[in-house]
Amino acid sequence: MRSSPDRADTVSSFSAALTDADLPVPDGIVGPDGKPAPKRFNVYRNNVIVSLTEALAQTYPAIERLLGEDYFKALGRSFVIEHPPSSPVLLWYGAKFPDFIEAFPPLGRYPYLADVARLEWAWLQAYHAEDAEPLDPQVLGSVAPESVGEVRFRLHPAASCVSSPWPVLSIALANRFSLEDPPVIDLETSESVLITRPELDVGLHQMRPGADLFFRALATHTLSQAANKALADIPEFDLSGCLSDFLSAGAFTGLVTNDTPTDRSA
């Protein structure tokens, strides 16, 4: 049954008012006595915003630690008002938070924050990605030498990378993943990170120069094409080292050569 226009308008105004305190309490919101109940609605509205902000804190604990709990709550509240959820699954709420941080003027002095948030979001995606067996490195060794350059890799569902002009992995380790043994952070260095989950645990791996370009190119190009793209921008690109890193980290599930797919067990 379709909702009537009046009902649809009521639902729309109710949803909008839940995350925007500047909007009036929607018509028809009454208490048990049948009278308007703005206080009850405001309590409910506050609970919704608090719950969404707490969900953000669960997804972005490194950002919360870097900003402090009070500042993060204020930032989260601003984000919730501007970006209410479009899905009932709170697990996936906050995809736009890194871009929001990047465009938030008061945080302009801390340009690395957005990339730290992108790394945390990528970690969450990897953690909940589809399970898949990683490619056995020996499979690549079975490919004829003259055909290796034409190999195409199938990326693991949990594999991705985050590139940053900032030491994004070091900052994330120091503020979330390695609190007891934090690394030294040098803001003059850049870091790119490979995120994988070949089994139960998500792995964060610092990438060699050009490895991020190589990894992204492998999604749509052959091995030789992807290597050439990386070499064009990064003369010191190490093809053998990068490929070994990817295979060891479980970044692939299979390969295709001469139009024949090969999986882990081949």
Same domain, 255 and 140: yes
Tell me the residue range of the domain where 37 lies: 1-110
Q: What is the pLDDT of residue 88?
A: 78
* C-beta of residue 227 within 8 angstroms of C-beta of residue 239: yes
Same domain, 183 and 251: yes
Q: How far apart are CA 80 and CA 83, in angstroms?
A: 5
Rg (CA), the chain: 24
Matching residue, tokens 């003027």: 105
Q: What is the pLDDT of residue 71?
A: 98
User: Which of residues 110, 145, 173 is at a domain's end?
Assistant: 110
Same domain, 141 and 43: no
Same domain, 85 and 129: no
Same domain, 154 and 175: yes
Same domain, 31 and 155: no
Q: What is the pLDDT of residue 266?
A: 43
Q: How far apart are CA 242 and CA 238, in angstroms?
A: 6
User: Which of residues 49, 78, 110 is at a domain's end?
Assistant: 110
Same domain, 169 and 216: yes
User: Which of residues 80, 110, 140 is at a domain's end?
Assistant: 110
Number of domains comprising the chain = 2
Same domain, 101 and 176: no
CB neighbours of residue 135 within 10 Å: 26
CA atoms within 13 A on the CB side of 140: 22
Q: What is the pLDDT of residue 85?
A: 87
Q: What is the pLDDT of residue 265?
A: 45
Mean pLDDT of successive 10-residue stretches along the chain, which has 266 residues: 48 55 57 53 62 95 98 96 85 95 97 98 97 95 92 97 98 97 96 97 98 97 97 96 97 83 52
H/E element holding 195? Answer: strand 191-196
CATH of the domain at 180: 3.30.390
Q: How far apart are CA 149 and CA 198, in angstroms?
A: 25
- pTM (2 d.p.): 0.84
Same domain, 104 and 229: no
Same domain, 141 and 105: no
Q: What is the pLDDT of residue 34?
A: 53
Q: What is the pLDDT of residue 151?
A: 96
Same domain, 64 and 104: yes
Same domain, 97 and 178: no
